[in-house]
Chain A
Amino acid sequence: MRVMNWLRLHTGLVYLFLYGPILMLILLSFNRSGLPTAWGGFSLHWYQELLSNKTLLNAALNSLLVAGGSTLVSAVFGTLLAMGLERIARNVVLDAFVFLPMIIPDIVLAIALLSFFTFIEMPLSLLTITISHIVFNIAFVAAIVRTRLSYFDNTLEEASLDLGAPPVQTFFKITLPLILPGIIAGSLLAFTISLDEFVIAFFTAGPSRPTLPILIYSMVRFGVTPDVNALATIVLSISALLILISQRMGGSEGFF
């Protein structure tokens, strides 16, 4: 019993360690005084401040463009890649290399991509960030769709062919609807990761249009301002929501 009590205490402390700072940030975003040391009462003041900040809104729009664009492309190609790996290749080495971009240190990938863009003389812009994000997002989508595909019963496709539906129709009427939860889950995850990705975006961004994380970084160089707390809280909420939906859809049982 005594050991159990210790474990309980330990678990509590770890959770406090993990989530304490984040809780603090959320609390401070509602702090009227704007000072990290004094509670001045509950207020949405800093959120109002955010809405009137043109630079910030533009950066948010840039981030949405990058995340949206890279997610769309990754959803299509990641799904096809997952199908190829599951049906045709079934090769351990190929598998490992597909999922490598998920675990390569961001900084390495960032440097590699920057060198690549320099090499092909492509000017840095939102497009280069989007392309860079596609690199790792394809891997995330492919990984999740593959899990879904491994539960997919291939005789369903044969049944469809047998009933007179050619391969393309079979894909759209049978395969796609059945793996769609996996594709959506993978896309949501990709979107979330892209939305708050900093290192790679920082290296491959052009001078004029920063994404949200890059802008926040430049703001906090002169100390954390209360409106950054508010912004961080919003980003956190969106990410958490997307991850939650993604997990619910990625499971083996899915919708049905």
Chain B
Amino acid sequence: MNGWKELIRLENVVKRFGSTVAADRISLSIGEGEFFALLGPSGCGKTTLLRMLAGFETPDSGMILLDGKDLTNVKPWRRPVNMMFQSYALFPHMTVYDNIAYGLRQEGLSSAEIDRRVQQVLELIGLPELAKRKPASLSGGQKQRVALARAIVKQPRVLLLDEPLAALDRKLRVEMRLELKRLQNEVGIAFVFVTHDQEEALTMADRAAVMKGGRVMQIGTPEELYNTPANLYVAQFIGEANVFSGRLESHADDWVVVANSNAYRVSRAEVQRTGLARGASAAIVVRPERMVIQPCEPEQTSQTLNRVFGRLLETAYLGSARTFVVQTDDGRRLSIQTPATESAPALRTGEQVCVGWNFESGILVSASENGNGKAED
């Protein structure tokens, strides 16, 4: 985040469609040259937010600023912002060349300048030989690159991408993640992309906003979202999570979450970080790779290890790792991942097992809907 400089600022942006609130007092900043993700399930308002940045929707209230200038009511064709559409929206009656040149021709540039820039961007996406083809004769991946080229050739301050990889098959999607990242580095334009795929957001974005029901639940780097989720929703949306929710209590100097009459220890650092008070409704989140699994030795106790007993339901070998699904005695399902190289004890499905985690790797989150345990309307 060195040299981070604000490019876009949203202030209390509200947008309603009938009775649904697509954007509920959204405030956030996006930096220059940043790769920013709007992440959330369908209907969370992420696409509406993108469309407001493009100018296709106008906020009911609130402001959108770019370089400190109010952009809220500027028409789409006057914004230094371009969009790559999910369906690509390539003009079917024009060649690839004309598609890319379309935006430049609106700027009234000389044809020599247009030609130079179109050729340059065709080189950049690696498809100079396709200039004379019509979109209908391109493959999905090629269409995607042309759509991207058409948007970046205008050298916008911000490039908006609506589910940029959704229409591609899985293998291509994974390749294009790196490709997009490379392109973004090369052109140095801020990218704001919408996705429902948390893996995509984590691998590509510098920072992401996790959204739900028109609200931003948390904004942070992928590491922050994964390691210090602001609430249970984010914890469960980003990556896999084993959740133990209950009430936060303290015994002497130790903090525990009491869930199903079991107490699980949680570090004081976590309590301080979240600012949760005694008696708050809270949850401990443990990532599968932070858990250990072993055959049961009931007498063994530990100060640092939280332990749960259960029965092994499934186990799978993934090459680099091994995963386990355990049904605990109090009815929850836990998933555990261990490195496959470890000489793990042979566990059979149906066997009683003991699952545990070091209390310091448990993440404490508020279990109330609105995060951080603070009362909100």
Chain A residues with a Cβ under 8 A of chain B: 153, 155-156, 158-166, 169, 173-174, 177-178, 255-256
Contact = CB atoms under 8 A, between A and B. Distances in A.
A164 B83 contact: no
B89 A156 contact: yes
- Chain B: interface residue count, which band? 20 to 34
A155 B81 CA distance: 16
Interface stretch (B102-110, B191-199, B246-254, B343-351): B102-110
A153 B92 CA distance: 10
Interface of B: 54-56, 75-78, 81-83, 85, 87, 89-93, 102-103, 106-107, 134, 136, 150-151, 154
Nearest to B81: A162
Contact of B82 (A163, A165, A166, A174): A163
A159 B85 contact: yes
Contacts of A174: 91
Contacts of B102: 160, 163, 165, 173
A164 B107 contact: yes
Given A159-B83, A163-B154, A164-B77, 10 more contacts: A156-B91, A158-B85, A159-B150, A161-B56, A162-B55, A162-B77, A162-B151, A164-B78, A166-B75, A178-B93
Determine the main DSSP class of A at the interface with B: helix
A164 B56 CA distance: 13
Nearest to B87: A155
Contacts, number: 66
B107 A153 contact: no
A169 B76 CA distance: 14
A256 B76 contact: no
Contacts of A158: 54, 56, 76, 83, 85, 89
B136 A256 contact: yes
B92 A163 contact: no
8 contacts: A158-B54, A158-B89, A162-B81, A163-B103, A163-B106, A163-B154, A174-B91, A177-B93
A176 B91 CA distance: 12
A164 B87 contact: no
Contacts of A162: 54-56, 76-77, 81-83, 151
B91 A159 contact: yes
Contacts of B106: 163-165, 169
